[in-house]
Structure 1
Amino acid sequence: MNKGKNKKATIVHVNVTTNGSTGRIMCMLHEAAKKEGFNSIIAYGRGSPPKNGEYIRIGNDFSVYSHVALTRLLDLHGLGSVRATKKFIKKLDELNPDLIHLHNVHGYYVNIKLLFEYLKEKKIPVVWTLHDCWAFTGHCAYFEYVGCDKWKTGCYDCPQVKKYPKSLFVDNSVQMYRIKRELFTGLDNLTIVCPSNWLANLVKQSFLSKYPVKVIHNGVDTTVFRPVDGGKMRERLNIPKEKFVILGVAANFKDERKGFKYFLELSKLIDKDCMIVLVGVSKKQIKNLPKNIIGLMRTENINELVEIYSMADVFVNLTLEDNFPTVNLESLACGTPVITFDSGGSGESIEESCGLLVKKGDLKSLFDSIMKVKSRKGYFIRCILYDKVNFSKEYVNVYNDLITCS
């Protein structure tokens, strides 16, 4: 599929959205590929189109809602969006890409059967970045925090059937595990990339273990996520200058995996000179928060996020299981130290000079660690180890290797 020295190689990046952590990662790699001389195109299923470059939307709102209905009623997530995927495949044939970079193929927008059968037929080199565990389970995206290891041999009686991707009536985890195992294995030229060593180790225990697995830690744009004056944000939230601000940020704190209940418990322990700010809570949650917690709904305004990170004294990530959370990296790049439960890959980004690790669920150690940061204010430094430039270079090297060998 090499197109010769006089023509640019084409890369198609595929993800459910251009927003959020996975969307920003995809868009950064899209920009990096263009700078390296590739013809780079984004394909996405939901949300807003990217600001720059060529893009394809896979399907439309109706196909997404139909896929949601199929998931809710029959637990067949990934098997909807038939017409949308056929149209996307036709577009791929026109583009004749040299490489396809998959990110999240779950999220109600693409038919995995049609897509992976096409990839096998065309023998297109594929990079697949796994942002969670969905690719090798019969249903869920995460499982350790509920103590399930059925994915190692075959899923059944799923304990999380009513969690994302939520099914209301049917547990089809047995069938979906079999379908995924059949579809996702047997590609001639697939490289799996994991953002954390934790996830890479899980992949090596799954039915994807025969593929080469490379760890490339996520990165953030440190020219955007940087220390700024957070005074105006404190004024907006009516937080006095002398208050010690404990910050938590999540895409959705309704997901119990994000540790919302621990913030409620923490609010009972902290002194009056401390305040908790949570970004990513629902309207219902905001109404029921204690007085020493300020709740904000999720924001996609990056400049606002930077101000919020910068005004905080410590960022606390109480996730019970995560891959390599970009919220940690964003906070560190803004100069705010991070305390996180040592769960999943969340602790892999924490250095002694910029944060602390706490045993999962240990509230006393969590409180003591927060007090340690409070007493050592100014000791912790800005951490920019995970800059987008470094991780983009690693991906570009993977692209070049695969395209050269194809």
Structure 2
Amino acid sequence: MKVLQINSVCGVGSTGRIATDIHKILVEQGHDSYIAYGRGDAVNCENAIRIGSKLDNYYHVAKTRILDRHGFASRKATEEFIKKVKMLDPDVIHLHNLHGYYIDIELLFKYLKEANKKVVWTLHDCWTFTGHCSHFEFVGCERWKYQCYNCPQKNQYPKSIGLDNSTKNYDDKKKIFTGVKDLTIVTPSEWLANLVNDSFLKDYPVKVINNGIDTEIFKPRKSHFKSKLGIEEEYVYLGVAGNWNDRKGFNYFIEMAQKLNENEVIVLVGVTNAQKSQLPRNIIGITHTNDVYELAKLYSCADVFVNPTLEDTFPTTNLEALACGTPVVTFDTGGSGESLTSGTGIVVKSKDTMDLIYNVRKAHGISSQYCLQTARKNYNKVEKFMGYLRHYGLFFSEHKQLK
């Protein structure tokens, strides 16, 4: 079987790594696999197809900034790409993020409806069924259920400093994205699946395949981190993010720091140098690390992983922490709490700092071994992503071979 995945990036970022993980499984099982991508360089894929160029990306950005028409540019790049797809003639087309300044959704879906291919579409956020934004929980907006207008997040990704075209975008997406004969939507969380079922995509079958992680990398590892910093006797509360901001819960760590005891310390990974210089004395800041083994060591030495995110689909940081034997405490936002049970972590009422602190301390008693066992059983990425082969029509025969 021949499978073509389409995503904004290839082999980098969370969605790019998911695409290459699926690609690796397909190749190992003897299938032809290709990834088409729109930005940056391709990593870990020998059959990568670039859609357009940097110049096409810049033009798409400009159209988004001025006209708020994200997804409605890159026409020439998309036309050339569709010619390549017709020559490739894949059996399955697997869509991931179509936002990201690289493809014209109208042209792409015109082809999909005419080609009558099997289509699997993994939604990693909410952009597909809104008139502008990729997430709306932070601002409490529900206009996407009926028709977007006067977008409260026009200045958020994909940012527009000009027009507000959220109503037209919504109407056009509804027309473009509906009506594909053989399309299955996949979401990483029940939370997002429920939103899809409340959207204009509700007539499509929706399946949930959780994100997975590499449990050979993320596992308990010996670390001298605490001794190096002289905090061997302290309880360590760890936070990890690629970009710390209000939506990721940065301010809740600042509030926590004001109320912690002398034997408690926070470690934040992913802060900028500017943020690091302004942290209180009981927060240790670490700038972004690309070393996954170092990150696993940090998870391993923490007593509790704290994730006060205010909008998230199904964060892999929770899974990584569990796989390293570290319990998790998170807000009840998005799908963040779905990976936790009473034996692996605690889900806390959103925006309640005192409840967060109380439950972080309560989590000290959670079994590290049970966290580890749960992650290995439920979130091994090979086992999780083999689930996609079911929707490609490959699951049963290939699942036997894998075992």
TM-score, L = length of structure 1: 0.91
Structure 2 residue aligned with 1:318: 308
Structure 2 residue aligned with 1:290: 280
Matched to 1:362, the amino acid is: D
Structure 1 residue aligned with 2:297: 307
Change (3 A) 1:10 1:379: closer
Deviation of 1:152 (Å)? 0.8
Structure 2 residue aligned with 1:198: 191
Structure 2 residue aligned with 1:6: none
The secondary structure found in structure 2 opposite 1:139 is coil
Change (3 A) 1:358 1:158: same
Deviation by residue 1:205-226 (Cα, 9 ceiling, x = unmatched): 1000010111111111111211
What are the residue-to-residue correspondences of 1:6-405 with 2, within 5 Å? 9-17=1-9, 18-231=11-224, 233-234=225-226, 238-254=229-245, 256-374=246-364, 381-382=371-372, 383-384=374-375, 385-400=378-393
The secondary structure found in structure 2 opposite 1:46 is coil
Deviation of 1:171 (Å)? 1.0
Deviation of 1:375 (Å)? 5.5
Deviation of 1:59 (Å)? 2.2
| Corresponding pairs, count | 392
Question: Structure 2, unaligned stretches of length 5 or more?
Answer: 398-403
The secondary structure found in structure 2 opposite 1:305 is helix
Deviation of 1:307 (Å)? 2.2
Q: Matched residues in 2 for 1:110 and 1:296: separation?
A: 36
Change (3 A) 1:294 1:59: farther
Q: Matched residues in 1 for 2:302 and 2:366: separation?
A: 15
Matched to 2:260, the amino acid is: I
Deviation of 1:71 (Å)? 1.3
Deviation of 1:267 (Å)? 1.1
Question: Structure 1, unaligned stretches of length 5 or more?
Answer: 1-8
Q: Do 1:337 and 1:354's aligned partners in 2 also have CA atoms closer than 8 Å?
A: yes
Q: Matched residues in 1 for 2:42 and 2:226: separation?
A: 32
Q: Do 1:355 and 1:380's aligned partners in 2 also have CA atoms closer than 8 Å?
A: no
Q: Matched residues in 1 for 2:4 and 2:369: separation?
A: 44
Deviation by residue 1:232-267 (Cα, 9 ceiling, x = unmatched): x4466x35222222111122213x221111111111
The secondary structure found in structure 1 opposite 2:254 is helix
Deviation by residue 1:302-334 (Cα, 9 ceiling, x = unmatched): 223222222222111111121111111111112
The secondary structure found in structure 2 opposite 1:214 is strand
Q: Matched residues in 2 for 1:70 and 1:356: separation?
A: 43
Q: Matched residues in 1 for 2:339 and 2:80: separation?
A: 40
Q: Do 1:20 and 1:300's aligned partners in 2 also have CA atoms closer than 8 Å?
A: no
TM-score, L = length of structure 2: 0.92
Q: Do 1:337 and 1:380's aligned partners in 2 also have CA atoms closer than 8 Å?
A: no
Q: Matched residues in 1 for 2:352 and 2:369: separation?
A: 24
Q: Do 2:241 and 2:270's aligned partners in 1 also have CA atoms closer than 8 Å?
A: yes
Moved more, 370-379 or 22-31: 370-379
The secondary structure found in structure 2 opposite 1:242 is coil
Q: Matched residues in 1 for 2:3 and 2:262: separation?
A: 54
Change (3 A) 1:352 1:39: same
Deviation by residue 1:46-77 (Cα, 9 ceiling, x = unmatched): 23312243111222322222222221121111
Structure 2 residue aligned with 1:5: none
Greater RCO structure (CA 8 Å; 6+ sep): 1
The secondary structure found in structure 1 opposite 2:347 is strand
The secondary structure found in structure 2 opposite 1:209 is coil
Q: Matched residues in 1 for 2:359 and 2:370: separation?
A: 13
CA RMSD in angstroms comes to 1.9
The secondary structure found in structure 2 opposite 1:291 is coil
Q: Matched residues in 1 for 2:394 and 2:208: separation?
A: 16
Q: Matched residues in 2 for 1:77 and 1:295: separation?
A: 35
Change (3 A) 1:367 1:97: same
Q: Matched residues in 2 for 1:94 and 1:351: separation?
A: 48
Q: Matched residues in 2 for 1:306 and 1:60: separation?
A: 36
Q: Do 1:10 and 1:98's aligned partners in 2 also have CA atoms closer than 8 Å?
A: yes
